[in-house]
Amino acid sequence: EEQLVESGGVVVQPGGSLRLSCAASGFSFDDYTMHWVRQVPEKGLEWVSLISGDGTSSYYADSVKGRFTISRDNSKNSLYLQMNSLRVEDTALYFCAKDSHQANMDVWGQGTTVTV
Amino acid sequence: EIVMTQSPLSLAVTPGEPASISCRSSQSLLHSNGYNYLDWFLQKPGQSPQLLLYLRSNRASGVSDRFTGSGSGTVFTLKISRVEAEDVGVYYCMQSLQTPRTFGQGTKVEIK
């Protein structure tokens, strides 16, 4: 079974830093693009970032560009989101999600909560 | 950035009746390869989002054939042929043609 498990969400002061992790299992991790998507409580979904399977390409939402860095360690089947210069508006539930060869975001984790 | 607009924002449906959600994009999602890069997700209460349809009309694994996607270019529709209690939640469309990926505001579906 394909599974994603996020961790690392905590309460942090504005201006602080945090690293989120996403542990993948049940699929060939390095074959797939991975995403971070966030959701403010009781609000909609906001795409944050994506990284290619080999880690050479990454993209960011304007709202986080220059502050957040997505990375992956394919030897550990893990995805990361380094979050710096955190703002109150970064408070959200953060999900990781994987693409398949055909579809976008076909598997999602349960999310980890960041409170700034 | 492509702006996605859904309507209605909420919908109350009688079990067994059909339901329809509209999604419009500010730019065409039709790629030169002939595919419309439009996906639909459902977020059930207290759960993570789940993929329903990808590339406009392809059902994700395990998704009921009661869910159908249609449209092309900038106007798309998700139809549920006969709503069941398990279909309640918030439905989102998302464009996957370009980055940044962008979602619609969401449509909350409730049972009457």
| Interface residue A113 vs chain B (CB under 8 A) | no
Residue pLDDT, tens place only, B38-94: 999 999 999 999 999 999 999 999 999 999 999 999 999 999 999 999 999 999 999
Residue pLDDT, tens place only, B2-34: 999 999 999 999 999 999 999 999 999 999 999
In this complex, how many residue pairs, one in chain A and one in chain B, have their CB atoms less than 8 Å apart? 62
Residue pLDDT, tens place only, A4-61: 999 999 999 999 999 999 999 999 999 999 999 999 988 999 999 999 999 999 999 9
Return the closest-CA partner of residue B36 out of B6, B52, B51, B56.
Answer: B56
- Inter-chain touch B48–A109, beta carbons under 8 Å: yes
pLDDT confidence of residue A41? 86
> A49 to each of A46, A56, A100, B71, B109, how far by Cα in Å?
10, 13, 16, 27, 28
